[in-house]
Amino acid sequence: MISIRNAQFSYGKHKVFDNVSLRLEQGKIYGLLGENGVGKSTLFKILSGLLKLKSGECTLFGEVPYNRTPSFLREIYYIPEDFAGENIEVGRYAMQIGKFYPNFSPDRLQHILAEFGVDPNAKFPKLSHGQQKKAIIALALSLRTKVLLMDEPSNGLDIPSKALLRRLIAENASDDQLIIISTHQVKDLENLIDPIIILDREGVLLNASIGEIAEKLSFSVEPKYNDRALYCQQDLRGYLTVKHNIDGDETPVDLELLFNCALQNKALFKDIFNNK
């Protein structure tokens, strides 16, 4: 559904993507991980048509995003990290915006706003950053676009709201919807995002489902440092270790560990997950 081939993009002389290829499918909630500055937000801007690739191809359900046709724009919604609403009531704004989207459901909007505890009659600037974020997430989920891009949605949310966010996304994502969530707070969205994409300055390090990762790697806590492991990180419990899964027993995937491991074994990760 989303296809990126040999994409190149730069801001002036600063190269962001060089020959990046990626294929994403409908009906999944992708987690997009990467260090600061690797181009996660840039990727979102390219996918939503706000930026144009220097070379290569990018298509979403067959359309080139940068052409920004109305038929494309009504099937995608992008929540930027730094969202701040205008001086307008949340409900009034949502109802007006919703008219442009064929699958918008006002009932769903009311329900999600109520779950988040956001007053639809409040104006955006009167709300806290976290409340504004909840309001725009409620709008995004009620629009039911084919593609939903969320840049750091859990930033600014309190701890109970993070759990609520996970539940509401899981409940309201439709079967044919493709959601990409970019985050540094992997713990906030664990058990929700699957597959995982790890982006790096050299391209895509990993694009694999949790099942595939568990099949190929094992995560464990060991009492001693294991010099044959792919990655070892000490904490109070011992050594958090990532190894090749040789015996075939699947262990729960620790996303934070996976991410650190991927950064330390870039070439190996590309090799393991056939992502060259």
Partner 1 sequence: MDNNIFSFDRFIKVLKYDLRFRVMGFALLFIVLLVSVHLFYFLIYNVGELRIVERVQIIQLFLFSCSFMAPFKIYREFRSSRGKASFIMLPASAFEKFASMFVISLILVPVSFLLLSLALDYFAVLLFSNMGHDRFFLRYEEFISLADIDFSLCCPVIFTLVSTAIFGNVIFKKRALAKTMLCVIAMAYILSEAVTLITNFIFWNDERVYAGTWSVIHEYVQDISEKVCLAFSVLLYAFAYWRIKKMQIS
Where on the chain is the footprint of partner 1 (CB under 8 A)?
A: 11, 45, 48-52, 68-71, 73-74, 76-78, 80, 82-84, 86-88, 92-93, 96-97, 99-101
Report the residue number, 7 or 76, with the smaller CB distance to partner 1.
76
Q: Minimum CB separation from partner 1 for residue 101, in Å? A: 7
Report the residue number, 62 or 248, with the smaller CB distance to partner 1.
62
Cα–Cα distance, 24 to 3 (Å, whole number): 7
Q: Minimum CB separation from partner 1 for residue 68, in Å? A: 6
Cα–Cα distance, 150 to 157 (Å, whole number): 14
Q: Minimum CB separation from partner 1 for residue 67, in Å? A: 8
Report the residue number, 82 or 235, with the smaller CB distance to partner 1.
82
DSSP state of 129: H
User: How large is the C-alpha radius of gyration of the chain?
Assistant: 20
CA atoms within 13 A on the CB side of 204: 24
- Which are the contacts of 205, defined by CB distance < 8 A and separation ≥ 6? 198, 199, 262, 263, 266, 269, 270, 275
Report the residue number, 49 or 203, with the smaller CB distance to partner 1.
49
Report the residue number, 70 or 223, with the smaller CB distance to partner 1.
70
Q: Minimum CB separation from partner 1 for residue 239, in Å? A: 43
Cα–Cα distance, 3 to 224 (Å, whole number): 43
What tokens were used for 25? 């499918």
Report the residue number, 47 or 261, with the smaller CB distance to partner 1.
47
Q: Minimum CB separation from partner 1 for residue 137, in Å? A: 16
What tokens were used for 85? 């609403």
Q: Minimum CB separation from partner 1 for residue 107, in Å? A: 21
CB atoms within 10 A of CB 43: 28
Report the residue number, 77 or 269, with the smaller CB distance to partner 1.
77
- Which are the contacts of 53, defined by CB distance < 8 A and separation ≥ 6? 7, 8, 9, 17, 46, 66
Task: Please give the single-letter amino acid code of residue 83.
Answer: F
Q: Minimum CB separation from partner 1 for residue 84, in Å? A: 7
What tokens were used for 150? 């969320």
**CB distance 238 to 222 below 8 Å:** yes
What tokens were used for 194? 């699957």
